[in-house]
Chain A
Amino acid sequence: MEGRLTKLALKGDQRAFAELVELYKDKIYHLAYRMLNNRHEAEDIVQETFLRVYRNLDRYDDKQKFSTWIYRIGTNLCIDRLRKRRPTYSLDAEMNDQEGIDGYSMIPSDNVTPETELLLSETQRLIYEAIDSLPVKYRSVMILRYLQDLSLQEISDVLDMPVTTIKTRVHRGREFLRKKLEPKM
């Protein structure tokens, strides 16, 4: 269906493009929100993602899944934004250095109101904090794996990395989250 919609959109059919937006806006928003932990920035990313999709419709190869293509654009935009926001650091060193990682988890989220605070159970908040404290390269992989329910092969297509790399990152990311969540289990 997405293939048909992209073809119509390429011919200038705004309604077809609006349909694509409807189909993917929540997914991209969810992805960006978990990556950046900020509503405004997440909406910016959604907007920028669709703008890029629109500009590059003629380059879309429909042998590829549309979801893979749009996730790649969205994920790369999030990664870029995170790189600009935070200083670079050695990820693998941080993985073994609990204190360094805890430092990042202390970055306050800008949008937790008292109401949402009440809604989020202690465990859920702990998960969000744990995801937030994951170094970027693990975070994107884990978010694609769990929030978007992608297979290892699909994640490797999105991030343009070998499946073996993705596998290692999922394992390490999961191990990291397990350690964070362990006290609650």
Chain B
Amino acid sequence: MECKLAVSMMHDYLDDDLPELQQRELKEHLLSCTDCRAKFKELEQTDMLMFSLMHQSPVASEDLVSRIMNSLPQVKKERAFVTWIKRHPALSAASVFILVMLMSSVTFWNQDRQLVVRGTDLEQVVIQGNTVIVPSGKTISGDLTVENGKTQVYGEVDGNVTVIDGSLYQASTAHISGQVKSIDQAVSWLWYKVTNMFSEVAYR
């Protein structure tokens, strides 16, 4: 056997990748070739030293787990609803719609064209006609929802901004800490209503 082939087989052996027959051939070569024997010893030691590193695990900061968990996006509500829909495939969009009609007094989406503004901190908001403005330098604490209107954000919103059947303009000075959602289609509007309704029920 050539030494070059023997070296290649040594590596395969260390990778648990050498068939038994060839293992015997390698062994024979090692018995007769001192150079290869020395080399094999070194490779084997390198291998052992590398594996020994596994027991020298560095330790991460203690707060790493909480940091990871806190960094996850908060999209659970939506996700839970989508999963719920998936688990009830018989419930088509139409039957969801009927469910909504039965369970609440929500009006059909395109019949409801007047401006609706919802939020927890509406004093800071300026409303001009059908335009809702978050002035620069002002901070809204909590979510802001605008239906059927234009929304212009120059200041800060410390929560989610949801725009339904309307436009959203964010100035370069704008800062929205939560999610920005724009809902334009009847179906997603419906889903939004339903999720909102369900979470209201859940929190009650």
Contacts and interface: CB of A to CB of B under 8 A. Distances in A.
A14 interface: yes
Contacts of A182: 42
A14 B15 contact: no
B69 interface: yes
B72 A51 contact: yes
Nearest to A18: B69
A167 B54 contact: no
A174 interface: yes
Interface residues of A, number: 44
The binding surface of chain B is classed by DSSP as: helix
Interface stretch (B23-31, B59-67, B176-184, B189-197): B59-67
Looking at chain A's contact residues, the main secondary structure is helix
Given A10-B83, A152-B15, A43 B57 contact: no
Interface string B1-35: 00000001001101111000000000000000000
B107 interface: no
Interface residues of B, number: 35
Interface stretch (B73-81, B88-96, B97-105, B138-146): B73-81
Given A39-B58, A146-B50, A181-B45, A12 B64 contact: no
A177 B50 contact: yes
A29 B64 contact: yes
B17 A152 contact: yes
Contacts of A142: 50
A55 B80 CA distance: 14
A149 B58 contact: no
Contact of B53 (A10, A55, A127, A151): A127
B8 A171 contact: yes
A34 B71 CA distance: 24
A78 interface: no
A146 B15 CA distance: 11
B64 A181 contact: no
B70 to A, nearest CB: 10
A46 interface: yes
B83 A178 contact: no
Contact of A43 (B16, B41, B64, B76): B64
22 contacts: A12-B80, A21-B65, A26-B57, A29-B58, A33-B58, A34-B53, A42-B58, A42-B60, A43-B64, A47-B64, A47-B71, A51-B71, A142-B50, A146-B54, A147-B53, A151-B16, A152-B15, A152-B17, A167-B17, A178-B42, A178-B43, A181-B46
In order of increasing CB-CB distance, the 6 nearest A-B pairs are: A146-B50, A171-B11, A12-B76, A29-B60, A178-B46, A12-B80
Given A14-B72, A51-B72, A177-B46, 7 more contacts: A21-B69, A25-B65, A29-B60, A42-B58, A46-B68, A47-B64, A174-B47
